[in-house]
Amino acid sequence: MSPSPEAVAHMEARQRLAVATALATHRIWRRLDEDNLYQSWLGLVGDVLAVVMSGQLAAAQMTGPWLNELLGAENEDRPDAGRIVPEAFTGVDGAGRPLAGVLMSPLWTALRLVTAGRPIVQALVAGRSMLDAIARTAVADIGRAADSAAMTARPAVTGYIRVVEGGACSRCLILAGNEYQTDKAFLRHPRCNCGMEPVTREHRPRPASPKELVAQMSEAQKRRTFGEAGARALAEGADLGQLVNARRGMATATVFGRKLQITTEGVTSRGFAGSRLKNLEKTAGQRYRVSKTPRLMPEEIFRIADDRAHAVRLLHQHGFIA
């Protein structure tokens, strides 16, 4: 069977949300004072942060209803058991870095170009392009992180398959339909719109394979996806797997070697995750207003967990599921 209509609709709804969030940041970017870029952006970045976090929250809130519609309620007697906490996913990018800092990057890009003598219009376009990528990716990554956490919390879900959008790049296309265990982080790149669909004993989707998707593409689509030479090579019988290095340019949330992916968001005593991490510290006789225990991102949890039960415990401890 193909990906379920619910899975495709979920992926497309998140894509629309990511685009809408990015467009909202564009409108704020246009309010920049060309004669005072730095001070002007400092006055606007808080509005941008609020917009992106709102998009992230909406993306995380989509997960529960989608899974319930697709698979049914996990535990009707205890509907809150294993549910994700949408607010716990906001305020960071997919690598766990605070968004407030990441959102300064568009300004630095614009200022570097201005300093190099480029026209201000060109500098602003480059900065807006980076802002667009940050906003779209932040919303999509958090939405997928919420999906992963929620699926991991459901014992019936044994894994997930990659759902690829029609206009996906070659790096994503080659991964279409691959099945992964729930504790495997989702491979993605900036502006990636791909999604996932859970696999259970009763629900076993079979999406189109990369070869089947390529066979459905027009020649123009093939040239756009693989380039002129790549499309010609495919026509001459080149192996798709050899043509596209599926992992080049792709990244999980682990992007700094073997260092842990952590976030400082939500680790104060008032934060949902912070309260749990502080409870762990109290057992060791430590008392801090801000938790000293690093808060792991879901992708890092999946990487280091010994097994599924371990992953669920860590997701609970770090405030991603209730």
Q: Give per-residue pLDDT as tens, 187-222.
A: 777 777 888 889 888 888 877 778 878 888 888 888
- Strands, DSSP E only, in the chain? 159-163, 179-181, 195-199, 262-263, 295-296
In sequence order, the β-bridge partners of residue 198 are 160
Q: How far apart are CA 253 and CA 100, in angstroms?
A: 18
The per-residue pLDDT for range 245-298, each reduced to its tens digit, is: 533 444 444 433 445 555 555 555 555 555 665 665 565 555 555 455 566 766
The domain spans of the chain are: 5-155, 262-317
User: Is pLDDT above 50 for 170?
Assistant: yes
Q: What is this structure's pTM?
A: 0.75
* Arithmetic mean of pLDDT, 90-102: 90
Q: How far apart are CA 214 and CA 163, in angstroms?
A: 15
- Chain center to CA of 213: 23
Q: What is the dihedral of CA 263, 32, 108, 127, to 10 degrees?
A: 90
**pLDDT (0 to 100) of residue 264:** 52
